[in-house]
Amino acid sequence: MQKRVLGQHLEVSALGLGCMGMSFFYGQPQDTTKMTKLLRTAVDHGVTFFDTAEVYGPFTNEELIGRALAPVRDQVVIATKFGIRHGEDGPTPMSGVDSRPEQIRRVTEAALKRLRTESIDLLYQHRVDPDVPIEDVAGTVRELITEGKVKHFGLSEASATTIRRAHAVQPVTALQSEYSLWMREHESDIIPTLEELGIGLVPFSPLGKGFLTGTIDSTTPLADNDLRRMLPRFSPEARQANQVLVDLLQRIADDKGATPAQIALAWVLAQKPWFVPIPGTTKPHRLEENLGALDVELTAGDLRRIEEAAADIRIQGERVPEQLRSRFGR
């Protein structure tokens, strides 16, 4: 397995595994026995980087990761998150943000128990809290690092200004934000800031929440409890309009003897050596497919071809609903 380094010192597999969908977001939670087997299979294939969060479930995803990876804990890097409140009402259990220092400590202590570990390898602020200065957040995580309960500090969907302010208090190892061929908003200021400061990028949804795999079109039904139904980019009209991007990936894939998903992941991997995408899956054959992206070599000519074609494609539909948009890029 190829390795990459996040920040200055955190070495992980070049491709991680996003675990959210095993317990949350994409319809019914998956069978825990099957997911445990999938997680251990990932380890057997050399994956060392696993991503979870308190809110995934809530709680159940961390519990799954803790149980499944306990026997191989010394071989893996586990990332989890604080900062999103959760409840059971409404279309999503996410009901606001909370990064008060006392809340960060409560969440961390609970996560340590659920993950069955003495220290969290990478602790992210899940979303920026406008009511808590980022310096207070970074300072609290710095204290947790000093106490040995956390090893590395991360942010998610933060602005360049917030990243700089946090990094000045406690070095940020990684920023986790959405990034893929259909979400490139961070290229103007976020990615240059990360490069300047020596911070890694962990792209979530590098496969566009499944759309870039080529297995979803405008007629594909989504379950009533699949939260993609609330995303404007997953309306039937947007999916139909955005099919042109999948068609591009398919053409490149045909030339390379690969799949659209593998080309989409290979493209992300080719952007910077300090990008570590975390595609999620609940299916063993998709895990194998995703890992196959590491063997796909995109030449400079391939990358130019993708870039030139993508420049003519205007992605339709916002990636998040209007009411959630204020939580991104603070």
pLDDT (tens digit per residue) in 4-17: 999 999 999 999 99
Tens digits of residue pLDDT in 206-251: 999 999 999 999 999 999 889 899 999 999 999 999 999 999 999 9
Catalytic residue among 26, 56, 124, 179: 56
> Residue 89 gets which letter from DSSP?
S
Distance (Å) of CA 210 to CA 204, 216, 269: 11, 7, 17
Mean pLDDT, residues 69-79 = 98
Would residue 56 show up in a list of annotated catalytic residues for this protein?
A: yes
The pLDDT of residue 86: 81
pTM of the model: 0.95
Distance (Å) of CA 179 to CA 35, 137, 186, 273, 301: 25, 24, 8, 15, 22
Q: Which domains does the chain show, CATH number per domain?
A: 3-327 (3.20.20.100)
Question: Is residue 89 over pLDDT 50?
Answer: no
